Structure 1
């Protein structure tokens, strides 16, 4: 009898061990296999959140099949107390292991909201955006002038600890305009002692931390612009009509102000290089305007004939060669165009239509250019008659 009981007990123990092993194997498979999430979601982990609360949230939103298995997996891998607050993009089909790795590794939030402060030529603006987890594209929440009262949506968003911040400097902004914009950025701190040299700031998007110093960001812009020129200068074409990086930056700034269309920057560069090589004056309006405004704001009107005839260091209708310095902060592509213009004989260009986005039409001869100008004047007259 006792032998029978012992045998049965041993059999039961073996069965239980096999069942336990099978259960562990099943749980392990559930933890690492493709998850049930059908559409990506944005998971926000609040500061001080518990693993229990996060796992329930994941289960309720269909991101994990079983909150208990998620917690057991976190305990087993010694990560149950390593949650990092933030907003995380949980992708379709993410496994429990992948989700746990996301929310315990930390780093920059991969979804949620961000604030972009855009420093423009004519104005500045603040844009609050939020990532749509389904399309994985940012959707504008609200946009406003920094001089105006901040909307409620923005005020609520800046209270979130994981909100991301960016400062975007557009290509062609002057150094004065950049400094003017930075002084209005509400999430930066500190004074700016002086306006940096024209052309010395790299126009692009900068990730910043709330409370960063404005002077530090300006220094970053100077360093990045110098790095761009240092990289591209050795790759320049032969026989350019300028001998130094400083002169190339002047040319790049003129190209930047003449066109915002990437595909025609090299042709615009060719026009000015061909003119310099032939001893012609550049005759470009943006340099004349800079001589009037000194880069402080925009002119806001057309140039007068008296201004086109007045001799100033920046009036390229009167002076020969390049003006004494840059007239804006050119982007990388404009610098590249100045150093490697297209292989063309273009000498002239004029706007194709009244819409700047349509670009320019180029010409080799004066007769061809005059016909292009007349076509443009006809468009102006037609628009004025409407």
Structure 2
């Protein structure tokens, strides 16, 4: 009797060979993919191009730029060596719509990951716009209009005494009118807080009057520690119906706050204006500058003092007096200092 052939063994061997080959090939492809992925991750994590002086690289990403344009800009500015790597990194992460325009300061040698993270988080370069305490609104407008980091139409001087002087950090391209609105809002918030805690025995009734007096205090002394004392003197004079007799109020009536550039003339002291407190009783018609936070605090909660007078002491500060006789002696000493300086 002949032996029957064994069926299926050869087909099984072929199938098994195919299966093993497929597995080996899949493993090889997966390994290559993992190796490629690891290589790409290393590539976008490695240090990028250095700047010649090792200082941050300033790059502006324009508003409305799509991913491709941003990547090309980074390559053109030397932040990356190949725009495609940045673009691929963003697409893999799904961050195409998370990139933010603006002016950036990228550290020298920043990796693609570092660049992407900074742009995604919108950590743009901030520029200071400083409004000094006691500057009049015409000069505030000058600062805003001359700041090259701002954009938009030139602004008109705001109403005197309506903005809070300080340093405002802005992005390049911030609108001038928007920054001015921010300055007004900052003063409104501060004044609302301080007004609620004011001394109940003040010789004025409104927030506007508080700003007027604070502006006079601000212009009378550049020494922060003196502002409360000066405020106390002016509050005492107002309570007694005495004229404030403040030189800066004369100047404001002449120049609307810009520097006079010379001494005050006798005719200007004698001139009746809405601001000249040598001629009018009480407060000027409007503020004479934009007072800072310390001057506003000083007039809303002045210290207790008997002093009614003060005059320059020759060192940049003032000497105070509670009686007119004492004040006259202080004035005589100041006149002597002036004469010695002239000689």
TM, length-normalised to structure 2: 0.68
Deviation at 1:25, TM superposition (A): 4.1
Closer, same or farther: CA 43–297 of 1 in aligned 2, 3 Å: closer
Q: Is residue 231 from structure 1 mapped to residue 193 from structure 2 by the alignment?
A: yes
In the TM superposition, what whole-angstrom CA distance separates every residue of 1:232-290 from its partner, at most 9, and x where no partner exists?
A: 21121231222222321221121122123333322221221233334543221122333
Partner of 1:350: 311
Q: Is residue 252 from structure 1 mapped to residue 214 from structure 2 by the alignment?
A: yes
Q: Is residue 274 from structure 1 mapped to residue 248 from structure 2 by the alignment?
A: no
For the aligned residues, what is the CA RMSD?
4.7
Partner of 1:110: 125
Q: Matches of 2:20 and 2:57 in 1, distance apart?
A: 53
In the TM superposition, what whole-angstrom CA distance separates every residue of 1:170-209 from its partner, at most 9, and x where no partner exists?
A: 54344566678889999654896xx865434555567699
1:94-105 → structure 2 map (5 Å cutoff): 94-103=110-119
Q: Matches of 1:183 and 1:110 in 2, distance apart?
A: 20
Q: Is residue 383 from structure 1 mapped to residue 333 from structure 2 by the alignment?
A: no
1:183-332 → structure 2 map (5 Å cutoff): 188-189=152-153, 198-203=160-165, 225-291=187-253, 293=254, 295=256, 297-309=258-270, 314-332=275-293
Partner of 1:74: 90
Q: Matches of 1:364 and 1:266 in 2, distance apart?
A: 16
* Contact residue 125 and residue 171 of structure 2 kept, 8 A: no
Deviation at 1:321, TM superposition (A): 3.1
Closer, same or farther: CA 29–176 of 1 in aligned 2, 3 Å: closer
Closer, same or farther: CA 271–34 of 1 in aligned 2, 3 Å: farther
Deviation at 1:334, TM superposition (A): 2.3
Q: Matches of 1:42 and 1:208 in 2, distance apart?
A: 13
Partner of 1:147: none
* Contact residue 72 and residue 83 of structure 2 kept, 8 A: no
Closer, same or farther: CA 288–85 of 1 in aligned 2, 3 Å: closer
Which structure is higher in strand share?
1
Partner of 1:124: none
Closer, same or farther: CA 210–306 of 1 in aligned 2, 3 Å: same
Partner of 1:337: 298
Deviation at 1:217, TM superposition (A): 7.3
SS at structure 2 position matched to 1:242: coil
Closer, same or farther: CA 43–307 of 1 in aligned 2, 3 Å: closer
Partner of 1:14: 27
Q: Matches of 1:281 and 1:94 in 2, distance apart?
A: 64
* Contact residue 177 and residue 295 of structure 1 kept, 8 A: no
Higher Rg of the two aligned structures? 2
Deviation at 1:344, TM superposition (A): 4.2
Q: Matches of 1:330 and 1:315 in 2, distance apart?
A: 18
Q: Matches of 1:188 and 1:75 in 2, distance apart?
A: 35
Deviates more, 1:358-367 or 1:233-242: 358-367
* Contact residue 102 and residue 171 of structure 2 kept, 8 A: no
Q: Matches of 1:191 and 1:39 in 2, distance apart?
A: 35
* Contact residue 175 and residue 329 of structure 1 kept, 8 A: yes
- Where structure 2 has 5 or more consecutive residues not aligned to the other structure, the ranges are 1-12
Q: Is residue 24 from structure 1 mapped to residue 37 from structure 2 by the alignment?
A: yes
Partner of 2:318: 360
Closer, same or farther: CA 274–26 of 1 in aligned 2, 3 Å: farther
* Contact residue 51 and residue 81 of structure 1 kept, 8 A: no
SS at structure 2 position matched to 1:101: helix
Deviation at 1:76, TM superposition (A): 0.9
Closer, same or farther: CA 222–13 of 1 in aligned 2, 3 Å: closer
SS at structure 2 position matched to 1:88: strand
